[in-house]
Amino acid sequence: MRRVALSRPLVLAQADQILSPETTVFDYGCGRGDDLRHLSAMGVTASGWDPTFAPDVERRPADVVNLGYVINVIERPDERVQVLRRAWDLARRVLIVSARLEWEARSINGRVHGDGLVTAKGTFQKLYRQEELGAWIDQTLATRAVATAPGVFYVFRDGADAQRFLAARVRGRSTTPAPRFSEMLYEANQPIFDDLAEFISQRGRLPRNDELAAAAELQRAAGSLQRAFAVLRRVVGTEHWEHVAEARSRDLLVYLALANFGGRPPLSQLPADLQYDIKDFFGSYKAATARADRLLFAAGNAQTIDTSCRSATVGKLTPEALYIHITALPALPPALRVYEGCGRALTGTVADANILKLHRQKAQVSYLAYPTFDRVAHPALDTVVIARLSLLDVTFRDFRSSANPPVLHRKECFVAADHPTRAKFERLTTQEARAGLLDDAQTIGTRDGWTRTLRAKGYAVAGHRLFHQREAG
């Protein structure tokens, strides 16, 4: 297979900041070397070996080793184990393992052979269940693999790196507000104060001296980091910083709750920055983990999940589930964030999914892909990845070839109050409700039903505005 862009596992690694120009990469089973060319163009030092196209290249250690869609084409189970272990031996920091999943079988014309298929082209394919692939990696390497997306797992050499990745995945993003330039000290030292503001916005706490390059300059300017922060509070106000500290402490609890799945590490094995977070927010690891365990228990309680769904201040609530846009996840109650995290522990990050369905009556999280959500008034559903927590399995539904897929309405309900286009969504919903277009929710839930309703009432939608047909024409 020739690739005209970087392969999906490496795109994910780049997004997760596992790849950088300072990172060395070895592609174990590199094929014709397309990924190597793309990595080199990005400034990443990369080499690769392949039994067919590059058999003479030395298999050498690297920071990141990519075993991309290799194990699924190996027919003998014992050889798959050998290849996985050899690739792991070369990984100094992280091994990326990817394979095709069972739901892709519909696109393969082949016959059953061994534990896989022989395709019409005569090639072998072993298709995995998501949970099966993760368990096989764990057992073979005796190291916990982290699901990063359907069919893609990271295996970290250092447990601290794994915990740093998992913590970053649940840490909400925060922006630093533009301060009012009223303090002379701030104005005279704005760049270093901005560095402090950025750190606190990301971590919710004061930095240690070794965590901030400008620490010494701030201490000289203000006397201490505490006094420098007091200047920021006077300039910007206290409400923002209180909100950030509360949000980051919730992020940390969600991370610690979900870390229990892989066996929560002792405090000494956590990265130093996470240790500082725990001490500043909770006083001790014991106190933090006790609260995290209570949160994890709550996420497994059906009544708590239902109550949390009903009390959520964001999302569209139906009798079956709470639906939210992925950007609104940090605004959910912590129990629901852990509930979703349990689903993501099975599926990894579902790259195209932008709507989450948190089921109220059964332990199930669904990841829905509406690729035109932002630009189309009533976007159609493409795919759904479903994590069934009670069964520990992952299923897939594909609506891309459907002539009558489900469509969305009332898009403002899915997003948080600060979403940049919420007002536009809400304006359209108001127009449609006044026109009586949203009265029959069951009929308008599909593309055909919505089209018939518009036509029957004489309306058309252009962009995010409603028109009478005569106006539209």
pLDDT per position in the chain (473 positions), as tens?
Answer: 544 468 889 988 988 889 888 899 999 999 999 899 888 878 889 999 999 999 999 999 999 999 999 999 999 999 999 999 999 999 999 999 999 998 887 777 778 888 888 887 888 989 999 999 999 999 999 999 999 999 999 999 999 999 999 998 887 655 555 544 335 677 778 888 899 999 999 999 999 999 999 998 888 877 789 888 888 888 877 888 888 999 999 999 999 999 988 788 999 999 999 999 999 999 999 999 999 999 999 999 999 999 999 999 999 999 999 999 999 999 999 999 999 999 999 999 898 899 999 999 999 999 999 999 999 999 999 999 999 999 999 999 999 999 999 999 999 999 999 999 999 999 999 999 999 999 998 899 999 999 999 999 999 999 999 998 765 44
Q: How far apart are CA 418 and CA 381, in angstroms?
A: 24
Residue in 196, 231, 217, 9 with CA at minimum distance from that of residue 98: 9
Are residues 68 and 19 part of one domain? yes
| Phi/psi at 92 (5° precision) | -80, -35
Residue that has been written with the tokens 């920091």 in this structure: 93
For residue 329, being part of any structural domain is answered with: yes
37, 27 contact by CB (below 8 A): no
Which pLDDT score, from 0 to 100, does residue 323 have? 97
Are residues 194 and 131 part of one domain? no
Domain with residue 64: its CATH number is 3.40.50.150
Are residues 146 and 71 part of one domain? yes
Are residues 401 and 323 part of one domain? yes
Alpha carbons within 13 angstroms on the beta-carbon side of residue 314 total: 22
Are residues 168 and 122 part of one domain? no
- Domains held by the chain: number: 4
Are residues 35 and 12 part of one domain? yes
Q: Give CA 206 to chain center in angstroms.
A: 27
For residue 3, being part of any structural domain is answered with: no
Which pLDDT score, from 0 to 100, does residue 175 have? 58
Terminal Cα-to-Cα distance of the chain (whole angstroms): 48
The whole-model pTM stands at: 0.79
Tokens found for residue 203: 């971590």
Q: How far apart are CA 397 and CA 406, in angstroms?
A: 12
Are residues 115 and 24 part of one domain? yes
Task: Single out the residue in 270, 299, 328 at which a domain terminates.
Answer: 299
Which pLDDT score, from 0 to 100, does residue 470 have? 64
Tokens found for residue 196: 């402090």
Which pLDDT score, from 0 to 100, does residue 119 have? 84
Q: How far apart are CA 126 and CA 114, in angstroms?
A: 9
Residue in 83, 2, 94, 19 with CA at minimum distance from that of residue 49: 83
Task: Single out the residue in 261, 280, 299 at which a domain terminates.
Answer: 299
Are residues 423 and 363 part of one domain? no
Are residues 324 and 195 part of one domain? no
Task: Single out the residue in 116, 139, 157 at which a domain terminates.
Answer: 157
Helical segments of 204-284, H only: 215-222, 225-236, 239-259, 272-282
199, 207 contact by CB (below 8 A): yes
What is the extent of the structural domain holding 191?
Answer: 158-299
Are residues 126 and 51 part of one domain? yes
Are residues 467 and 368 part of one domain? no
Are residues 39 and 149 part of one domain? yes
